[in-house]
Structure 1
Amino acid sequence: MFRRFATEPGLIGLDWHGFRDAGAPARRFVVDGWLGEEDGRLIVEIEAERAAAGFVSYRSGLYGGVAKHWEIGIALLPHWRGRGIGWRAQAVLCDYLFCHTPAQRIQAGTHPENIAEQRSLEKAGFQLEGVVRACEFRAGAWRDGHLYSRLRDDPSPWERGPG
C-alpha cells in the first residue's frame, strides 16, 4: 500500500507531490517495520472486512529546541473515504501517542479546500489554530495550510462524543 501511495498520481488526493522511489517503503519496512522512534506508519484496517483502508503516520518535531510534539497524518484509499474511518483512526493514534510518550501536543495540517479532513480532525478532538501561509509547494505553487492541534489535556472524542 505504501508503494501505491508513492507511485499512483491522484491516489493520495491533494497530498500528491510527484513520483517517489517505489522501493523506499519496502526498504524502510526492513529497517524497523515502519515503527521508528521519531516517525512511523500504521495500516488502518477495517477488521470486519479484513481490508486495509489506508494508513496513519506520525513524526516528531521540536518547538524551541526542547518541546517535543507529534505531527500526524492520514491517507485513505478513495473508496474508504467519507465513512467515518479517518477521524476514528486519528483519534486512536492520538490516544496511543499520549499513552506511550510524554508529548503534550499533537498537531496535524490540512489543505484549506479539504473540508472533509477538517471535520475529521475536529471529530478526533483537534482544534483549529490558524492558517499557515505559503507552507507547502504543491501543483506548481506555494499553498496555505490549516494547522490543528490536540493537547494532552483536551477532552478525548470518546469522552465528549465526536463533534
Structure 2
Amino acid sequence: MSAREVRLRPVTEDDLGMFRRFVTEPGLIGLDWAGFRDAQAPARRYAKDGFLGEDDSRLIVEADGTAAGLVSWSARGFGVSRYWETGIALLPDWRGRGIGWRAQAMLCDYLFTHTPVERVQAITHPENVAEQKSLEKAGFTFEGVLRAVEFLRGQWRDGWMYSRLRSDPYPLNP
C-alpha cells in the first residue's frame, strides 16, 4: 500500500524523538547503522539552526500527515565546484510504499530550485537494491563503484554512486 500524500517540511521539536531513535536503536536506520551516537546531538543541532545549515541540512519526509523519516543534503566539492550529496532514512513501517523515491525526487527539485548547483549525488550500498531502484525512479543515474569508501561493521565497504543533473529529465509523477 503506497502513501497518498508525500511532502517535505522543516524539522520541528516534535521530530527530535525520531532523530534520537536513529542514533540509539541498532538497525532502525537500516544498513547505515554505524554504532551508537550522542542522543542529545539532535536537540543541540535543532537549537542551533533547526537542521537548516549552510552546508548540511535535513527535512522531514511526511507521508499521509505522519513523519515517516528524513532527507538530508551536504555540500561537497570538486575543485572550485560545489554540489550536494543527499541521503534518506525512512522508519521501517514506511519503507516499500513508494515514499522514498518521491521524497528524493522532491528533494532534488527543491535543491535545483533554491540553490545554483548542477549536480546532486547519492551513494548507497551494493546490496541495497531497494534504494538503487528508488534512486533510479527518482531520476538518478548509476555512475559506478567507489571502492572501499566506507568503514562499517568492522570492514571497508564499497559504495555505489548515483547522480542527477539539473539538465536530467524530471521523473514522472513524483
TM over 0.5: yes
2:72 to 40, 57, 61: 57
Deviations 1:34-66 (A, max 9, x none): 0111101111011x3x211000000001111x1
Structure 1 equivalent of residue 94 of structure 2: 80
TM-score (norm 1): 0.94
Q: Which has the higher contact order (CA 8 A, sep 6+)?
A: 2
Structure 1 equivalent of residue 14 of structure 2: none
Q: Is 2:119 aligned against 1:105?
A: yes
Q: Is 2:37 aligned against 1:20?
A: yes
User: 1:120-159 alignment to 2 at 5 Å?
Assistant: 120-158=134-172
Deviation at 1:109, TM superposition (A): 0.2
Deviation at 1:145, TM superposition (A): 0.6
Structure 2 equivalent of residue 43 of structure 1: 60
Number of matched pairs: 157
Distance in 2 between the 1:100 and 1:44 partners?
Answer: 18
Deviation at 1:94, TM superposition (A): 0.4
Structure 1 equivalent of residue 51 of structure 2: 34
Deviations 1:62-81 (A, max 9, x none): 111x1100000000001100
Unaligned 5+ segments in structure 1 are none
Distance in 2 between the 1:157 and 1:139 partners?
Answer: 34
Distance in 1 between the 2:108 and 2:66 partners?
Answer: 22
Distance in 2 between the 1:129 and 1:51 partners?
Answer: 34
CA RMSD of aligned residues (A): 0.9
Distance in 2 between the 1:22 and 1:75 partners?
Answer: 17
TM-score (norm 2): 0.88
SS of residue in 2 equivalent to 1:116: helix
Which residue type is aligned with residue 89 of structure 1? A
Report percent identity of matched pairs: 71
SS of residue in 2 equivalent to 1:83: coil
Structure 1 equivalent of residue 15 of structure 2: none
Which residue type is aligned with residue 45 of structure 2? R
Which residue type is aligned with residue 33 of structure 1? G
Structure 1 equivalent of residue 25 of structure 2: 8
SS of residue in 1 equivalent to 2:105: helix
Distance in 2 between the 1:54 and 1:91 partners?
Answer: 15
